[in-house]
Structure 1
Amino acid sequence: MAVDSIGSVLGSSATTSGINDKVINQDDFIKLFVSELQFQDPMQPLDNSQFLLQMSQFESIELSSETNEGVQNLLSMGSSDQSISLLNHSVQVTGSDGGTSTGKISAVQFTSSGVSLSVTDANTGGVTTNVRLSQISLVQP
């Protein structure tokens, strides 16, 4: 059985209307919690400790989600700042074949998958696009 991480569960936009869906969001949790309170056995009501435990677990999940989102935003801003500061700098790029080339960063593009750089080759003048920050092995001023 596959287990989703907290970030992927809370960060997804999937609905939970289907039977096979494995995602629960804040609204679904509240509905489930209210239903549990409505249909509890009057002779054995929900114990206060169980009630507090469920509320604290929900609060913990919500705070973890907010923390995760904040960290993701910081990482995104950090890579944006780093890539913008590389504009017009000479760099050495490691290709997918393991070879290296030298060029100057001529453009920075922000995509949904991260930062993508364009490097103008120092020898040929050709432009290589979709270069990732991880491919930069040397930066010269």
Structure 2
Amino acid sequence: MSIDSIGSATTGLRGNSLGQEDFMKILLTQLTYQDPLKPMDNQQFMAQMAQFTSLEQTQQLNQKMATLISNQAALQSVGLIGRTVDINTGGSSLTGTVASLSLAGDSPSITVRTSSGATLQNIALSQITAVR
């Protein structure tokens, strides 16, 4: 049994993933209905268990990496306070100084004061085109 990808496949089950309890139910069903004259091969059984464990650990690693990336973006954005940035606001480019940082929600956002005195709030980090 090979595992090709674990990305965006959906199964329609809770949280779009199979848990260890689901695996045990499948295993119990396999053992219940196996042919007594041709029992399941132990090596095949151990390989399936190892693959399931590997898949579960990979999913946990993906979740932890996503959290790490989010935390790192928040920490790096603190260094923008007081710096001059160029931002893209719907087709036009503005220059200003980062006045504050907000960590509310999923991603950090900044407040920028332009040289003309205007204050732009809730600017996403993805809108920053240059930092000086």
In 2, the alpha carbon distance for the partners of 1:106 and 1:38 equals 66
Is the 1:9–1:24 contact (alpha carbons within 8 Å) kept by the matching residues of 2? no
**Are 1:107 and 2:100 counterparts?**
yes
Q: CA deviation at 1:7?
A: 5.0
The match for 2:119 is: 127
Is the 1:94–1:100 contact (alpha carbons within 8 Å) kept by the matching residues of 2? yes
| Matched letter for residue 127 of structure 1 | T
In 1, the alpha carbon distance for the partners of 2:104 and 2:29 equals 42
Percent identical across equivalent pairs? 33
Is the 1:7–1:68 contact (alpha carbons within 8 Å) kept by the matching residues of 2? no
The match for 1:116 is: 109
In 2, the alpha carbon distance for the partners of 1:100 and 1:60 equals 47
Indicate how the Cα distance of structure 1 residues 82 and 54 shifts in structure 2: closer, same or farther if over 3 A, else same: same
Q: Which runs of 5+ in 1 are unaligned?
A: 17-21
SS at match of 2:37: coil
SS at match of 1:71: helix
| Matched letter for residue 135 of structure 1 | Q
In 2, the alpha carbon distance for the partners of 1:126 and 1:24 equals 51
| Matched letter for residue 138 of structure 1 | A
**Are 1:138 and 2:130 counterparts?**
yes
Q: Deviations over 1:45-84 (max 9, x none)?
A: 1111220121111011012112212221221121011111
Runs of 4+ residues deviating >3 angstroms? 7-10
Normalised to the residue count of structure 1, the TM-score between the two structures is: 0.74
Normalised to the residue count of structure 2, the TM-score between the two structures is: 0.79
Q: CA RMSD in A?
A: 2.7
Q: CA deviation at 1:6?
A: 2.5
| Matched letter for residue 15 of structure 1 | R
Q: Which runs of 5+ in 2 are unaligned?
A: none
Q: How does 1:1-141 map to 2 (within 5 A)?
A: 6-7=6-7, 15=14, 23-97=17-91, 99-123=92-116, 125-140=117-132
Count of aligned pairs between the two proteins: 128
Q: CA deviation at 1:9?
A: 6.1
| Matched letter for residue 33 of structure 1 | L
